[in-house]
Amino acid sequence: MVNLDIDFSKCSYCMDCVELCSAHALLFNAITGQFYFNPDNCTYCEVCLDVCGVEAIILSD
Ligand code: SF4
Ligand code: SF4
Mind listing the pLDDT tens digit for each residue in 11-34?
999 999 999 999 999 999 999 999
Q: What is the CA radius of gyration of the chain?
A: 11
Entry pTM: 0.95
Say whether pLDDT at 46 is over 90: yes
Report CA(56)–ligand 1 centroid distance (Å). Answer: 6
Q: Is the CB of 47 under 6 A from ligand 2?
A: yes
Model pLDDT, residue 17: 98
Cα 48 to ligand 1 centroid, rounded to whole Å: 8
Number of Cα atoms under 13 Å in the Cβ half of residue 52? 23
Closest C-alpha residue for ligand 2 atom 8: 21
Could you tell me the residue range of the domain that residue 54 belongs to? 3-60
Domain with residue 28: its CATH number is: 3.30.70.20
Percent of the chain with pLDDT over 90: 95
The mean of the pLDDT values for the chain is 97
The total number of structural domains that make up the chain: 1
pLDDT at 15: 98
